[in-house]
Chains A and B, each alone.
Chain A
């Protein structure tokens, strides 16, 4: 397989900082 462990990790929601910019 060609899956890279770091690429898999990058799917984590914890990496998505866009929530910081959403109007609350």
Chain B
């Protein structure tokens, strides 16, 4: 076995063994190591404590630490599995794993459901859906009349809420996504397919087992 994680690499407070993370996610060990380099950058961009705070997440996404965005907030909260206000390394890798092109479709569908279940009731409710549409309109130049918004939300609910109980449950969501696969296109990040090749500057600073290097060759 090679020393595939160098002792010269700093360990953050929430550091986890890349081999364990690779075994639980679609990533290889070398890709987890590349993600660690990325994680170190992100987690020390404002507060140098090796943990990703919401401001650092927003800075990375928008180049602005103060930009408010409903969906970025929800994604941060879902990544922050321990709910301690920061994204630790293991949380970062496991959560990004869901966005990997090879991640199970079920995981992507479930993650998207939790994203849209703003109040975490186990259902996507009509008011939540309207709130999300309004949030999108607020950040974009798209202008829709209130009548149009109501009509779109009504139509979507009519199609998705097949039990007609005024809320979308997980089974209804799965069925709706199977009819409209584009709904989870945001759940796949092509970048992750081979992050160590897409971001060679990250992998260049890590040590990888020779066998893995030969696989990449």
Contacts and interface: CB of A to CB of B under 8 A. Distances in A.
Given A12-B71, A14-B75, A20 B183 contact: no
Interface in A9-23: 9-23
Interface stretch (B10-18, B24-32, B57-65, B207-215): B57-65
Given A21-B191, A23-B201, A14 B133 contact: no
Given A5-B133, A9-B132, A11-B136, A19 B152 contact: no
A17 to B, nearest CB: 6
Nearest to A18: B191
Interface of B: 38, 41-42, 45, 60-63, 69-75, 99, 116, 129-130, 132-133, 135-136, 139-140, 142, 148, 151-153, 155-157, 159, 180, 182-183, 185-186, 189, 191, 195, 198-199, 201
Interface of A: 1, 3-24
Main secondary structure of the interface of A (DSSP, over half): helix
Given A10-B183, A19-B61, A5 B129 contact: yes
Contact of A8 (B41, B133, B159): B133
B45 A24 contact: yes
